[in-house]
């Protein structure tokens, strides 16, 4: 009886210790669920990754996380929180809760970020400003910047984040003063972030044409400030394109095939940013457009006001299962290094689809490795579906032998 009592007491002590460990280290998730994640981690051990594999989880894919194999993702970034001119996170848009803010508060996102941390992935949060006037107003007011930095630091601390990604997409040419102001804001953010957590990292999303344009990014001055630069090498053609085309043509710009390409983008970027700081953006999706002639590559699409207008994301998962995708009607573009297909829908309208299939995605992984970038940034997590072959590509591409 005494022996049984001792065993029972020790069991209670051990269980209490386990409960306390998970409750204190992962406060956003119940200890019971955290234990479940830990068991999953043991069952699905992480390979020794030789490159960083950064993945964006956007608010519109938070319900599609069950098929994400976190053992192959070294870093998860939630995308994201939108800022206003006063340095606050926008919580409401058009009388409705701003979706990025809303999902960030949900238990499902908290649990997924906890799961990522238990699997050994770093976690971060994207801070977003895509409106020029808002960005300018924020940069014009130091108090607003201080407020934003304070809000960022609060999220990093309360959600136990490892870093922050700044996604300020400025369209067109900016006044030179805003380049200087953005650099100063970045410097101040980095300084405060480092004070709070010396191991935290600062990331910057860079649009394809940033080096050649005159936007707010002075990359030479920003290089010492940011730890990683994420090349947004995708959506060269998208929802509003006048022709159907590759999402991320690897080549073709110098051959006058495409208006720009991935190779030239990184050729520009590496003149200002060292390769060991670059994460190459890789799309896990394509686009499906209605077009004038599906069989003709880069066929014109229909205007937005046309009755036949249609453009939709063709996710990796959909590309694997869509019955309209017939291999006999698919071709490989030797410039874009991307698969394209065509079909006619039930209304008799032609479609042209540019795919992120295994061959296309592998070519991007190979490009990142051959250029010795520090890794890739997947845009976006949640498009994988139940087909596990994409994770095999990642294992083969970035796992150590």
| pLDDT tens digits for range 347-395 | 999 999 999 999 999 999 999 999 999 999 999 999 998 888 999 999 9
Task: Return the ∠ at Cα 315 (arms to 290 and 256), rounded to 5°.
Answer: 60
Is there a domain that residue 204 lies in? yes
Is there a domain that residue 52 lies in? yes
Is there a domain that residue 53 lies in? yes
Which has the closest alpha carbon to 53: 128, 125, 122, 156?
122
Is there a domain that residue 150 lies in? yes
Is there a domain that residue 336 lies in? no
pLDDT of res. 386: 87
Helix ranges (DSSP H) in 30-175: 31-43, 99-104, 107-118, 132-140, 142-158
The reply to whether the predicted model has a pTM over 0.85 is: yes
Average pLDDT score over residue span 248-274: 98
- Spatial distance between the Cα atoms of 149 and 167, rounded to a whole number of angstroms: 14
Question: Percent of the chain beyond pLDDT 90?
Answer: 90
Is there a domain that residue 87 lies in? yes
Parallel, antiparallel, or unpaired for β 52-58 and 75-82? parallel
Is there a domain that residue 14 lies in? no
Is there a domain that residue 162 lies in? yes
- Spatial distance between the Cα atoms of 205 and 107, rounded to a whole number of angstroms: 27
- Spatial distance between the Cα atoms of 382 and 360, rounded to a whole number of angstroms: 18
Which has the closest alpha carbon to 76: 61, 59, 60, 54?
54
Mean pLDDT, all residues of the chain: 94
Average pLDDT score over residue span 170-197: 96
Could you tell me the residue range of the domain that residue 250 belongs to? 30-284+356-398
367 CB-near residues (< 8 Å, 6+ apart): 250, 262, 263, 280
pLDDT of res. 4: 65
Average pLDDT score over residue span 305-330: 95
pLDDT tops 70 at residue 201: yes
Domain of 79, CATH number, reads: 3.20.20.80
Query: What's the structural domain count of the chain?
Result: 1
Average pLDDT score over residue span 337-354: 98
Segment 89-108, tens digit of pLDDT: 999 988 889 999 999 999 99
**Contact call for residues 368 and 44 (beta carbons, < 8 A):** no
């Amino acid at each position: 009886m005494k022996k049984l009592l001792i065993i029972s007491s020790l069991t209670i002590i051990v269980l209490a210790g386990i409960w306390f460990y998970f409750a204190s280290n992962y406060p956003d998730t119940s200890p019971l669920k955290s234990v479940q994640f830990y068991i999953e981690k043991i069952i699905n051990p992480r390979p020794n990754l030789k490159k960083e594999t950064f993945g964006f989880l956007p608010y519109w894919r938070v319900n599609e996380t069950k098929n994400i194999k976190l053992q192959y993702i070294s870093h998860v970034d939630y995308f994201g929180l939108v800022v206003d001119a006063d340095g606050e996170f926008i919580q409401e848009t058009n009388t409705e809760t701003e979706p990025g803010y809303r999902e960030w508060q949900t238990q499902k996102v908290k649990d997924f970020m906890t799961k990522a941390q238990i699997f050994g992935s770093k976690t971060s949060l994207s801070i977003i400003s895509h409106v020029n006037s808002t960005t300018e107003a924020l940069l014009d007011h130091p108090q607003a910047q201080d407020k934003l930095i304070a809000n960022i630091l609060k999220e990093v601390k309360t959600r136990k984040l490892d870093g922050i990604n700044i996604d300020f997409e400025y369209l067109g040419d900016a006044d030179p003063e805003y380049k200087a102001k953005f650099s100063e804001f970045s410097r101040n953010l980095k300084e405060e972030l480092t004070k709070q957590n010396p191991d935290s990292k600062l990331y910057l999303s860079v649009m394809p044409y940033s080096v050649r344009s005159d936007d707010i990014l002075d990359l030479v001055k920003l290089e010492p400030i940011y730890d990683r630069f994420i090349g947004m090498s995708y959506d060269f053609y998208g929802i509003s394109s006048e022709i159907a085309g590759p999402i991320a043509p690897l080549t073709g710009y110098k051959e006058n095939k495409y208006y720009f390409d991935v190779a030239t983008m990184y050729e520009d970027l590496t003149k200002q940013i060292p390769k060991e700081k670059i994460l190459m953006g890789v799309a896990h999706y394509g686009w499906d457009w209605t077009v004038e002639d599906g069989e003709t590559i880069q066929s014109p699409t229909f205007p937005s006001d046309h009755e036949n207008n249609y453009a939709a994301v063709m996710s990796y998962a959909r590309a694997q299962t869509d019955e309209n995708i017939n291999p006999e009607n698919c071709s490989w573009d030797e410039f874009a290094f991307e698969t394209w297909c065509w079909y006619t829908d039930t209304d008799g309208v032609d479609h042209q689809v540019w795919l992120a299939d295994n061959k296309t995605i592998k070519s991007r992984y190979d490009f990142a490795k051959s250029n010795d970038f520090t890794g890739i940034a997947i845009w976006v997590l949640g498009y994988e579906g139940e087909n596990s072959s994409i994770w095999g590509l990642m294992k083969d591409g970035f796992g150590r032998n």
